[in-house]
Amino acid sequence: MTEIQAGTEAAAAASGAPQVPAIELDGVVKEYLAHGEVVQAVKGVTLAIAEGEFFSLLGPSGCGKTTTMRMVAGFEEPTRGVVRLLGQDVTNVPPNKRDVNMVFQSYALFPHMSVWENVAFGLRRRKVAEAEIRRRVGEMLEIVDLGGREKRRPREMSGGQQQRVALARALVNRPRALLLDEPLGALDLKLRQAMQIELKRIQREVGITFVYVTHDQSEALTMSDRIAVMNDGLVEQLAAPREIYERPATAFVAGFIGTSNLLSGAVDRVESGCAVLKLGEHGRVLVAEASQRAGDPISVTVRPEKITISTEEPSGDISAVRGTVSEVVYLGLYNSYAVRLADGAEVTVFQQNALDSSSTAERGDAVWLSWQPHHSYAIGS
Amino acid sequence: MRKVRAAAAPYLLALPAWIWFAIFFVVPIAAMASVSLTTGNLLEGFQQTFSFSNYAKAVGQYHTQLIRSLIYGGIATLIMLVLAYPMAYWIAFKGGRRKSMYLFLLLLPFFVSFVLRTISWGFLLADDGILFGPLKSAGLLPGDFHVLATDVAVIGGLVYNFLPFMVLPIYVALERVDPRVVEAAYDLYASRWAAFRKVVLPLSLPGVFAGVLMTFVPATADPVNARILGGTGNTMIGNIIQTEYLTNNDYPTASALSFTLMAVLLVGIFVYARSLGTENVLEAAAR
Ligand SMILES: Nc1ncnc2c1ncn2[C@@H]1O[C@H](COP(=O)(O)OP(=O)(O)O)[C@@H](O)[C@H]1O
Ligand SMILES: [Mg+2]
């Protein structure tokens, strides 16, 4: 709840004036009846998406992303809660009367229509003048780089091209918000990366709010202004990508986004604003900005790339733990080390491959791991 | 060598089908074509004389029945289309988990012979039968009211007997329509009606096309309904062919009539396919 408000305020502050959010979900719950049993697909989601924002719903398969999206589009009615578009309650408004458009996971292009007819479909339904339709469809096909292919049928096009037709078909209507449900899921890696850049460019060009559903964390991190990380029908954290990555609010977020190490123990003492937690005989973990007091249990995450490996014991006010290298994996740009601590916990460390390879630790080496206090984050259970 | 064999495999596998097709379709057609050009009679035998006048004679004599058959078949097909589309639509989209049961119910009449079913309709529709008898004696219907031996009875019989052949292909086509595509139409501001007209209907046209073929052809050529439910004024071309063949033993005339019917139907199908089966209609529907 707090981070949601923070997000809206941040967006409002950015534009210099309080703004009505493009999309608001207020305590939205969706229950399905499956085989006589009530299944809660969405268990209570409250969030606000600012106008012009690139907003992502990120979470594992089955966490309720599509269901949330379909309630915004109007295909599902929430069991409880309210959906607002630009401040207007649209909870019971059918999809054809909502000023949002959706790009479907499978594109859902009209197979019997040409590319041109597909893109013109929405404008035709809205009785836009024919000359205007011609102009706007032509323009949009240029934007998505499909000029000259307007007579093709969807089945005569590649996956990437179909994807762009789906995008053009939705965007040409200039909706208040564009909803994209794993739009790049069916594309191969290379095309997907190209399309990510393309999507960002298009969004900047048209300035429309994008709500982007994905289970791919790197995709969400690179593209979004803000991300809502969902798990099991609930939003676990809603924040900017950097914040999500650097300061995961929960163990789930820490584990889902990138690789993360989780260390647990009890706070030994609090020293100059840092909670200190003892690990093993010589180990210590310093946590900046922890609210825990001496004696409190604490879970701490630290990202693998923030950790330094050394053979000598590091000095100064930093976290330092001992362990033995149990695995080294060469990954090109960097090495990934698995280091087993005395208590059996395994810590992953990424170390960039330096020109001088003498600093690399070998399997079986006893090493010290160290990192800055502000790279340790205490998380809620 | 192996490559050659692999390439030949599909043809070899299709060989039984080709043989079947040759024996039971090509040979009889060729034989019938030959018979249709002969002259003679059963007692003295038929000689091949290439008398194309058989056709002129047969058509001249029976054009009334030929045209009537096409009209009956056409009307019956139209009625079936109007009845079958909503049925297929309902089963495909509202049938839920009972879909297969509804399809089974639709096919249930096939467990009773075609002729028997038609005869029982005869009983039902008889002037003083179980349906009209009581109504007439109750004074709800005039005494001279009748359905049997009218156009209505014959066309009704055709509709009843061939309806499943219209429903099934339309159902299959509707069943294959991706619900996401329909949702996409709603998402793009289409009303229910617009989504149906612009997306569902055009995507189901292949099924409609198949359904019309599968009903119009047998309904037009059908002799059973006209014989059992019709009167002397409702004779169809199928009855004439049957009589010429089995009663009059006039094989050349029967064959010529069969060929004429086949030619008329083929031309009709061709024209129909050109106008409905191509992308023109879809293109028009997209607008
Ligand atoms: N129509 C439905 N009927 C029953 N259960 C559903 C239905 N739609 C989704 N669910 C369930 O709700 C949960 C969330 O689904 P979904 O929103 O599709 O997840 P995601 O898009 O994140 O993969 C899943 O467990 C799914 O099985
Ligand atoms: Mg999904």
Q: What is the CATH number of the domain that holds B177?
A: 1.10.3720.10
pLDDT of res. A96: 94
Q: Is the dihedral of CA A5, A7, A8, A12 positive or negative?
A: positive
pTM for the complete prediction? 0.80
Domain spans in chain A, listed from the N-terminal domain onward: 3-9+22-255, 262-379
Q: Residue A260: its pLDDT value, please?
A: 84
Distance A67 CA to ligand 1 centre (A): 6
pLDDT tens-digit profile of B46-84? 999 999 999 999 999 999 999 999 999 999 999 999 999
Whether B25 maps to a domain, the answer reads no
Interface size A-B, in CB pairs within 8 Å, comes to: 73
Pick the CATH number of A3-9+22-255 from 3.40.190.10, 3.90.330.10, 3.10.580.10, 3.40.50.300: 3.40.50.300
Q: Which residues of B116-153 are buried (b: 16+ CB within 10 A; e: fewer)?
A: ebbeebbeebeeeeeebeeebeeeeeeeeebbbbbbeb
Instruction: Choose from A63-77, A194-208, A267-281, B110-124 the range with maximum mean pLDDT.
Output: A63-77
Interface test with chain A among B177, B188, B191, by most A beta carbons within 10 Å: B188
- Using the predicted structure, report yes or no on whether residue A377 has a pLDDT greater than 90: no
Interface contact B287-A94, CB threshold 8 A: no
Q: Which residue of A has its CA nearest to B281?
A: A112
Answer yes or no: is the C-beta of A64 below 6 A from any ligand 1 atom.
yes
Count of domains in chain B? Answer: 1
**CATH number of this structure's domain A262-379:** 2.40.50.140
Q: What DSSP assignment string belongs to A207-270?
A: --EEEEEES-HHHHHHH-SEEEEEETTEEEEEE-HHHHHHS-SBHHHHHHSS--EEEEEEEEEE
Residue type, A65: K
Candidates B189, B199, B203; nearest CB to A126: B189
Is the confidence at residue A179, as pLDDT, over 80? Answer: yes
More confident residue, A83 or A274: A83
Q: Are A241 and A227 in contact (CB under 8 A)?
A: yes
Mean pLDDT (whole number) for A45-65: 95
Chain-wide mean pLDDT for chain A?
88
Q: C-alpha B7: how far from its chain's center?
A: 38
Question: Which chain B residue has its CA at the smallest distance from A102's CA?
Answer: B187
Residue A4: pLDDT above 60?
A: no
Quote the CA–CA distance of A145 and A195 in Å, as a whole number: 12
- Is residue B102 a contact partner of residue B182, using CB atoms and an 8 Å limit? no
Q: Is the pLDDT of residue A13 over 80?
A: no
Residue A231 near ligand 1, beta carbon < 6 Å: no
Atom of ligand 1 nearest to the CA of A33: 4
Q: Look at residue A6 and tell me whether its pLDDT is greater than 50.
A: no
Chain B residues near residue A125 by CB distance under 8 angstroms: 188-191, 194
Atom of ligand 1 nearest to the CA of A215: 22
Asked if A102 has any chain B CB less than 8 Å from its own CB, the reply is yes
pLDDT at B61: 94
Instruction: Please give the average per-residue pLDDT across A91-116, as a whole number.
Output: 94
The bound ligand whose nearest atom lies closest to the alpha carbon of A181 is: 2
- Partner-chain contact A109 B184, CB within 8 Å: yes
Domain hosting residue B110, numbered range: 62-286
Q: What's residue B57's pLDDT?
A: 93
Q: A34 CB less than 6 Å from ligand 1?
A: yes
Among A97, A113, A126, select the one facing B286 at the smallest CB separation: A113
CA dist B109 and B120 (Å) reads: 12
pLDDT at B1 over 80: no
Is position B249 within any domain?
yes
Examine residue B50 and state whether it is found in any structural domain, yes or no.
no
Residue A233, ligand 1, Cβ within 6 A: no
pLDDT score, position A380: 66
Segment B191-237, tens digit of pLDDT: 999 999 999 999 998 899 889 989 999 999 999 999 999 999 999 99
Contact A147, A141 (CB under 8 A): yes
Per-residue confidence band for B279, with pLDDT thresholds at 50, 70 and 90: low
Which secondary structure element, helix H or strand E, spans residue B261, and what is its range? helix B251-272
Domain-located, residue B48: no
Q: What is the pLDDT of residue B2?
A: 66
Q: Is the pLDDT of residue B8 over 60?
A: yes
- Going by pLDDT thresholds of 50, 70 and 90, the confidence category of residue A92 is very high
Share of chain A above pLDDT 90, in %: 55
Do residues A265 and A277 make contact, with C-beta atoms less than 8 angstroms apart?
yes
Of A295-304, B128-137, B211-220, which has the strongest mean pLDDT?
B211-220
Q: Is A381 on the interface with B (CB under 8 A)?
A: no
Ligand closest in space to the Cα of A39: 1
Please report, rounded to a whole number, the percentage of residues in chain B having pLDDT higher than 70: 95
Q: Quickly state the pLDDT bin for A11 (edges 50, 70, 90).
A: very low
- Ligand 2 midpoint to CA A60 (Å): 9
